[in-house]
Amino acid sequence: MRQSLQLRTSQQLAMTPQLQQAIRMLQLSTLELQIEIQQALDSNMMLEEELIDDFDEEAQLNNSAESSAMVEADPHEESPASAEQELASESGMLEKTADIPDELPVDSSWDDIYDAPISTTASTPLGDEPREFEQGDSSSESLQEHLLWQMRMANLSDEDIEIGETVIDAVDNDGFITTPVEELLEGLQAQGLEIEIEELMSVLHTIQQFDPPGIAACSLQESLLLQLRALPEVDDATQELIDATANLVANHFELLANRDYAQLKRKLRLNDEQLHKLTHLIQSLNPRPGSQFSAEKPQYIIPDVFVTKKQGAWKVELNLDAAPKIRVNSTYANLIKDVKGGDSNTLKTHLQEARWFIKSLQSRNETLMKVSTSIVEHQQGFLEEGEVGMKAMVLADIAAELGMHESTISRTTTRKYMHTPRGIFELKYFFSSHVSTSSGGECSSTAIRAMIKQLISEEPAKKPLSDNKIASTLSEKGINVARRTIAKYREAMAIPPSNERKRLA
């Protein structure tokens, strides 16, 4: 072997820091973008947040023109009102609402607005010390907290409370006890409690009387029976209906689960109307009594794009209020020429980074606007007709139309949401595979799912449509879909098969 020098030429893509920042910001969601902007404001002295008062009319007109686009539905329709007219109307509204007198007549008292505090006196029934009651939001209270609160309100011994805490801890999010009672007993005995199965069952039965009805049941059948027993006795006819329904659930639950209505009518000696009343009462019960309680806070979606129809044309606008508006601080930027030495270099570095950051934001908004406008142009059928009008579209279609790479379209449509008259949808929702039609065209899988859902909603109650029948019905419309594809779409929409959809009426 010997050493040698060789000269080679090759092409290579260099990812500059500016390009990396632009790509990273493009794939951020709205909430992540807000955090990114706030971190930039905290770390870069050259960036500042724009206030509403800082906007002049000309800047508003420019932003409105750059951040909105019209998708023509009819070329003969008149153009929508200009942004200047909209701003003029808004300013007029502000002027009208600004004339507020210093003093307004008040036709209410303090007690009408604020609830009076709960007085804790010596007549408090529980102990000598007054108890403090908190009225909180039930949606933020967990199921275990709700049950523990009720258990502490009950007159239980210390040993029963310890047993009850173990039982409540075994209740899952749906409100059922999935752990066998024998295992709960063994766990309590291992903790040093000398109890028998009867004591455990006694505490369990006490907890089963708590709110919500049907809680702490070991099976769905037991939960339905607990809910039936908790129904109020309105009159004799209602009580007779409740007793008959409880008898059906207790003794013929398997036939009910299999929807074997013929066997049920024969064994219970009921006609269709009577059996329908019993099943209707069962359907009014909650199969998951603990589902109304959740310790998780709801996650709210902030739309990135608004789509509205004005004067026959679909208008696409960016949600500019989703993230803080930033700009370069002119005061610090003007100091660069007056400062010398290391401080000057620091200011110049911060200024360059600020400009790159603002440019990345503008690039993100421009790309999101282009992609959203293109999606609306392709999916006007969905906006007009719903899911049935959804057209087949893949990422490559938008990428080819805009001259971008598919990865860019994928980043742009991930965790970005569009607010339409039909609801809020992720941009990726508008992309779907296609099925060929008999006429040589294409039909979106989303549209096929909507057709399946519509056919099932219109099917006869006593004779639901099978997957084969749905496939043949779609074939008559020119859409060739296999039976197994129908079954896959139906299961994806959580629709049971035909034998489980059979109803009395």
Torsion region of 440: left, alpha or beta (phi above 0 gives left; psi -120 to 50 gives alpha): left
pLDDT of 98 reads 36
pLDDT of 297 reads 66
pLDDT bracket for residue 69 (50, 70, 90): low
Buried-state track 425-438, b at ≥16 Cβ within 10 A, e below 16: bebbbbbbebbeee
Contacts of 381 (CB under 8 A, 6+ apart): 389, 390, 391
pLDDT of 52 reads 58
pLDDT bracket for residue 505 (50, 70, 90): low
Query: pLDDT per residue over 232-257, tens digit each?
Result: 877 888 899 999 999 999 999 999 98
Q: Quick check: helix, strand or coil at residue 9?
A: coil
User: Cα–Cα distance between 375 and 426 in angstroms, integer?
Assistant: 12
* Degrees, nearest 5: CA angle 490-493-498: 40
Q: Is the pLDDT of residue 136 over 70?
A: no
User: Cα–Cα distance between 198 and 160 in angstroms, integer?
Assistant: 12
* Degrees, nearest 5: CA angle 15-18-19: 45
54, with CB counted inside 10 A (0-12, 13-18, 19+), is exposed
Q: Which domains are seen in the chain, by residue range? A: 434-501 (1.10.10.60)
User: Cα–Cα distance between 495 and 449 in angstroms, integer?
Assistant: 11
Query: pLDDT per residue over 377-425, tens digit each?
Result: 999 999 998 888 888 898 999 999 999 999 999 999 999 999 999 999 9
pLDDT bracket for residue 92 (50, 70, 90): very low
> Average pLDDT of 318-322?
88
pLDDT bracket for residue 356 (50, 70, 90): very high
Decide: 39 and 321 in contact? Cβ < 8 Å.
no
> Average pLDDT of 445-455?
88
| DSSP-derived secondary structure letter, 70 | E
Is the model's pTM score more than 0.75?
Answer: no
Q: Is the pLDDT of residue 91 over 50?
A: no
